[in-house]
Homo-oligomer: A and B are copies of this chain.
């Protein structure tokens, strides 16, 4: 079977070179006589693996020395609790609600203190990112956002000005898609299963001064979830997901050897802009995200009816195109174009879209489709284009 054109939102495509290396090392990692999965996390051999993974990530992201890097388990969902449990010292934070994930994070934070919604785009069905209308209360413990909304396909291209309040960002679906200035954030976290490796690790990058001696919620925080403790133990207070970290390290090297995050950004905008360009002129498909908020990774769109969406998904499978069904809370279609999705996958998807559209011309003409493509189109200059 040829490799699939995999547009899954996560878990998602992993560079083929990484998979080949992992397969080759499966029974004997570098002369150790064992798989990395069989190796004690306390062994020198494994310590070298996790150290190298962290060091490579620090290089490709240019992470300043005053930030700690943690490899944790439990996904972004566990971080939705870990963030307030660790950081909400004044029991008061602000949330920007741009979609499914930031809304979940906000609801979780409400368990632990006062979590104000500073801005929301729910009234426009999360088709754009909401922005701050007024200066941030400088007494907040942090301001939270999800910088790239995987479900709705939106993205913050510019960070809000929070004054001196630390910015906490869920970067999951744009993590390593492009450079970010780490020093602008107090804390970044990201599930790795988009651009960084297999599901089962969440990377937390947190500024030293935000870690008190104990978590904000003190003794009721599960020990596992204490950032300070995990940092002091090099992410090995207990056994980490050793295989996942090993794979992440390989992906980090692949990124570095492929030109780093600047190259990733160029490639990714080039890929998604081809799709956005097609959608903006299509008579059948409608893009779902407003132009200035469009994502570098997740291209959301729909056909004029759920039936046509389903037909599109079914037909895609016959062309070895997978993972293009939209998230269940939104429906429609979605093509996630992470780092490991090659340009030829975009070729295949565009060719299929054009073929599908040409055979459904009647459907497009008949569709009552007020939110059609042109309504959401922006001029090319308004879109980030390879930059």
Contacts of A219 in B (CB 8 A): 111
A244 engages B241 (CB within 8 Å)? yes
B8 engages A38 (CB within 8 Å)? yes
Q: How far is the CA of A149 from the CA of B87 in the complex (A)?
A: 35
Residue from A2, A76, A239, A242 having most chain B Cβ neighbours under 10 A: A239
B34 engages A78 (CB within 8 Å)? no
Q: With an 8 A cutoff between CB atoms, is A362 at the interface?
A: no
Contacts of A133 in B (CB 8 A): none
Q: How far is the CB of A168 from chain B (nearest CB, A)?
A: 16
Contacts of A28 in B (CB 8 A): 1, 3
Q: How far is the CA of A307 from the CA of B160 in the complex (A)?
A: 59
B6 engages A34 (CB within 8 Å)? yes
Residue from A26, A320, A328 having most chain B Cβ neighbours under 10 A: A26
Q: Select one of B9, B16, B74 contacting A224, CB under 8 A.
A: B74
If A33-B3, A77-B237, A223-B81 touch, does A9 touch B40 (CB 8 Å cutoff)? yes
Q: Select one of B6, B37, B242, B244 contacting A38, CB under 8 A.
A: B6
Q: How far is the CB of A65 from chain B (nearest CB, A)?
A: 28
B112 engages A220 (CB within 8 Å)? yes
Contacts of A8 in B (CB 8 A): 38-40, 43
B78 engages A200 (CB within 8 Å)? no
In the complex, the 5 A-B pairs of residues with the closest C-beta atoms, listed nearest first: A200-B241, A4-B33, A81-B222, A73-B73, A23-B26
Question: Which residue of chain B has the shortest Cβ distance to A110 in the bound complex?
Answer: B219
Q: With an 8 A cutoff between CB atoms, is A199 at the interface?
A: yes
Number of copies: 2
Contacts of A31 in B (CB 8 A): 1
Q: How far is the CA of A81 from the CA of B225 in the complex (A)?
A: 10
Q: How far is the CA of A236 from the CA of B32 in the complex (A)?
A: 35
A220 engages B111 (CB within 8 Å)? yes
B23 engages A200 (CB within 8 Å)? no
Residue from A12, A81, A241, A320 having most chain B Cβ neighbours under 10 A: A241
Q: With an 8 A cutoff between CB atoms, is A41 at the interface?
A: yes
Question: Which residue of chain B has the shortest Cβ distance to A202 in the bound complex?
Answer: B73
Q: Select one of B20, B108, B322 contacting A223, CB under 8 A.
A: B108
Q: What class of interface size applies to chain A in its complex with B?
A: 35 or more
A11 engages B242 (CB within 8 Å)? yes
User: Which residues does A use to contact B, with CB under 8 Å?
Assistant: 1-4, 6, 8-14, 16, 19-20, 22-24, 26-28, 31-35, 37-43, 73-78, 80-82, 85, 108, 111-112, 191, 193, 197-200, 219-220, 222-225, 237-244, 247, 320, 322-323, 328
If A16-B27, A81-B224, A239-B75 touch, does A32 touch B1 (CB 8 Å cutoff)? yes
Q: How far is the CA of A3 from the CA of B39 in the complex (A)?
A: 12
If A23-B26, A74-B73 touch, does A13 touch B34 (CB 8 Å cutoff)? yes
Contacts of A224 in B (CB 8 A): 74-75, 77-78, 80-81
What are 17 contact pairs spanning A and B, CB under 8 A?
A: A1-B31, A1-B33, A3-B34, A6-B34, A14-B38, A22-B26, A33-B322, A37-B199, A43-B323, A73-B73, A73-B241, A77-B223, A80-B224, A108-B223, A198-B243, A200-B241, A200-B244
Q: How far is the CB of A222 from chain B (nearest CB, A)?
A: 3
Q: Select one of B9, B73, B242 contacting A198, CB under 8 A.
A: B242
Question: Which residue of chain B has the shortest Cβ distance to A33 in the bound complex?
Answer: B4
Q: How far is the CA of A4 from the CA of B34 in the complex (A)?
A: 6
Residue from A31, A37, A41 having most chain B Cβ neighbours under 10 A: A37
A37 engages B238 (CB within 8 Å)? no
Q: How far is the CB of A169 from chain B (nearest CB, A)?
A: 18
B3 engages A239 (CB within 8 Å)? no
